[in-house]
Amino acid sequence: MDQDSTAEQGMTPIRIAPVERPERPARPARRRTAVRIGVPVAVAAVVATGIGLVPALASDEAPDLPAISAQDLVAKALGSTTDTFSGTVRVSADLGLPTALTDAVTGSGAIGDLARSAGASVGGADPQLKAVELLGGSHTLSVAADGPERQRLTLSGEKSGYELVHNGDQVWAYDRDSRQALHFTGAGRADGQHDAGRAGIGSLTPQDVAKQLLDGSAETTSVTVSGTERVAGHAAYRLSVKPKQSGSTIDEIRVSVDAEKGFPLAVQVRTTDGATALDVRFGTLSYAKPDAKTFDFAAPKGAKVVERSADALPGSPLPSVLPAPGAGAGHGTAGAGHDAAAAGPDAGVIGKGWTAVAHGNAGAEAAKGLAKFTGRQVDGGTLVSTRIVNALVTKDGRVYVGAVTPETLQAAAKHS
């Protein structure tokens, strides 16, 4: 079976003119349950301008599901309240990250040796660094959740293992290889500032990746229902999200959505060079409530325990390597999710949507250092490339970055 598959302000419901459909055999009436959320403004605008109702495709191998509009399916996915489940998640990534970056994170190669000799923290139990490790190759995670206060994620290998456990106001991150345990306290704060179960590596699940990517502007994004499939044994619709603009490195993002619960089951990011840069999907999935003991954790004897406040919980690394298609001039972020404001007072964003380019000033010395370890010389400076995100560093230290082609970066640099 073909298993290819690739946010939150309320708004006034949008009326979509009915679209004529081919005659279909009569079927028993099905009762629809209203989605009790507001569709995010950007997404609603996309699906309201030129999509309408698209019958879900069916084949001998795909489930036969009722027709649904892209607008309703996006709302269903973003509004899913399913937070009790267990299963496995397969993460396959080929982002083409520079060797210098992956070596620094994983502690391998010359850069890893340099970091260790300088006393830098390499790898260990940090949830965000562990997440970056997953952005290359194929990995399988065991996941379990029982509401917003209890989640557990396990990454197991032949020679290593990793645990991220959130239970109430406690979060534990443990790396078996380094025998380091990070203990975060205060994660259950009432102000809702910390989504502890999604710290770092915990953000690499289909539902979290989908919610980041299902954002766009009506002018730049096309959203359709492209078919149906089964993921982890569950019948699903497949959303196809594509840029209308030329110049992006993204060709299509596919999101598989559980037909009954609206729970995102899989996300696939395809690039213009024909590659699948990221595929995150459930391999197995049960909506049954996990046993309470699943979320118990105690640091193993001999582990080095480091105490930290929940304020130190990291976010997702994905905004640094995947586009945020709703961004643009005035938003402070580029298509790659970078914070332009952090690059200095003269920083900003050129363009909008999928081809937005963030720019700032890193300084001439930083530019020299970057050129020394990675990148190649092109017209206008040094180009640092991944499969999705490209960065252009000029000789005077200006930096231009986005999920765009090198030519788009060079054009942005010339006209800034």
Structure confidence by residue, pLDDT tens digits, 100-123: 454 444 444 433 443 334 334 445
Domain check: are 111 and 214 in the same one? Answer: yes
Low-confidence residues of the chain: pLDDT under 70: 1-60, 98-123, 157-160, 187-198, 215-218, 320-321, 323-346, 363-374
**What pLDDT is recorded for position 236?**
98
Q: How far is CA 6 from CA 185, 253, 260, 301, in A?
A: 35, 5, 19, 41
Domain of 410? 340-414
Calculated CA dihedral for residues 294, 286, 94, 194, nearest 10 degrees: -50
**What pLDDT is recorded for position 238?**
97
| 23 within domain boundaries | no
| 195 within domain boundaries | yes
User: Letter for the amino acid at 394?
Assistant: T
Domain check: are 247 and 396 in the same one? Answer: no
Residue 184: strand, helix, or coil: strand
Read off the tokens for 278.
């990221």
Domain check: are 93 and 151 in the same one? Answer: yes
Instruction: Give how many domains the chain has, as a whole number.
Output: 2
Single pTM value for the model: 0.75
- Among residues 316, 350, 370, the one where a domain terminates is 316
Residue 389: strand, helix, or coil: coil
